[in-house]
Structure 1
Amino acid sequence: MLRLVLGGVLLVAGGLKVIDPQTSVQAVRAYQLLPDGLARIVGWGLPFAEIALGLLLIVGLFTRVAAIAAGVLMVVFIVAVTSAAARGLSIDCGCFGGGGQVAPGQTAYAAEILRDVGLLLSAVWLAWRPESRYAIDHDDGIDDGEIEEDEQ
């Protein structure tokens, strides 16, 4: 279930951003953490990375690697939102599209951080225990040695 939830969140987040890449770039710039050129690259590339990771997790392919990458993304998101809050920026996180400046008091930093911590814990669990039923990389418990013995 965690694989589907984390994958679904990443797929939706990336899908909502990929339809308007300029807004995604604007959201990355609003954090004021990256130089303009790098913010543009991250703003354009992040939606595709989220979609790819989401799809890998949903189908259960390279689950451990995808979970580790998703966990790294969650840590980056937590650090970025915490940094924005600590510096007194009033921005929308841009997590599901949108982003940029918002009116003071209209931020939801605590909820965003809690959500991302929950997703990070899901990613950690999946990196530790990547096997799951109905995944492409599902281990059915039969190793090659057992098959060879049965055939003989």
Structure 2
Amino acid sequence: MTRTRLTDLAGTAVRIALAAVWLVSGGVKVADQIGSAVAVDAYQVLPAAAVPLVASVLPLLELALGALLLVGAGTRLAAVVSALLLVGFVAGLLQAWARGLSIDCGCFGGGGPVPPGEERYPLVLLRDLGFLALALWLSVRPRTLLAVDRIGDAPAEHDDVRHQPAEGTR
């Protein structure tokens, strides 16, 4: 197997993993709009009037990113938007931690205020930085297998095919 083929395969795994993150995260939030609003409000960065809008739009954005990544359509754009969203999430977590807020991030549902000492900022930040690494990979190298983006690409050369001169050219 060629290095390009292995990299395409790794990229496909990255794309599917990030798609799963967004689909699960967005799906759980869509199913619990009130819980999503509580989680968004817990960060204490938005005016009260903006909380319901963000709590409604954010899960839809996550689902859209997940769907695009799942089928491999607009992979680079979806990855860049994913990276920007994850940077925002990391910034939100860092500001909450720095301000001494005791919250559950609400990344995969639930969320909101928790008793002091029950927040898990270091673990959640590491996880989100891992997701950010996936998004950055796809931003730099969006080429993956089984992707709508690949429709129309020339067929890849097989590793075991030896190029033989055409008949009569030997």
Alignment TM-score > 0.5, same fold: yes
Q: Distance in 2 between matches of 1:56 and 1:142?
A: 22
Provide the secondary structure at the position in 2 that maps to 1:96: coil
Counterpart check, 1:56 vs 2:68:
yes
Structure with greater Cα Rg: 2
Q: Distance in 1 between matches of 2:20 and 2:153?
A: 27
Q: What is residue 83 of structure 2 aligned with on the other side?
A: 71
Provide the secondary structure at the position in 1 that maps to 2:116: coil
Cα offsets for 1:22-60 (capped at 9, x unmatched): 110110000000111112111111111101101110110
Please identify, of 133-142 and 40-49, the stretch whose mean Cα deviation from structure 2 is larger: 133-142
Q: How does 1:2-151 map to 2 (within 5 A)?
A: 2-138=14-150, 141-142=153-154
Q: Distance in 2 between matches of 1:84 and 1:122?
A: 24
Q: Distance in 2 between matches of 1:15 and 1:141?
A: 33
Structure 1 vs Structure 2 CA RMSD: 1.3
Q: Which has the higher helix share?
A: 1
TM-score by length of 2: 0.81
* Identical-residue share of aligned pairs (%): 48
- Count the aligned residue pairs: 143
Q: Distance in 2 between matches of 1:107 and 1:140?
A: 48
Deviation at 1:142, TM superposition (A): 2.6
Provide the secondary structure at the position in 1 that maps to 2:22: helix
Q: Distance in 1 between matches of 2:145 and 2:154?
A: 14
Would you say the 8 A contact 1:17–1:47 is kept in 2?
yes
Structure 2 residue ranges without an equivalent (≥5):
1-12, 156-170
Would you say the 8 A contact 1:2–1:126 is kept in 2?
yes
Which 4+ runs in 1 deviate beyond 3 A?
A: none
Please identify, of 74-83 and 134-143, the stretch whose mean Cα deviation from structure 2 is larger: 134-143
Q: What is residue 146 of structure 1 aligned with on the other side?
A: none
Structure 1 residue ranges without an equivalent (≥5):
144-152
Provide the secondary structure at the position in 2 that maps to 1:103: coil
TM-score by length of 1: 0.90
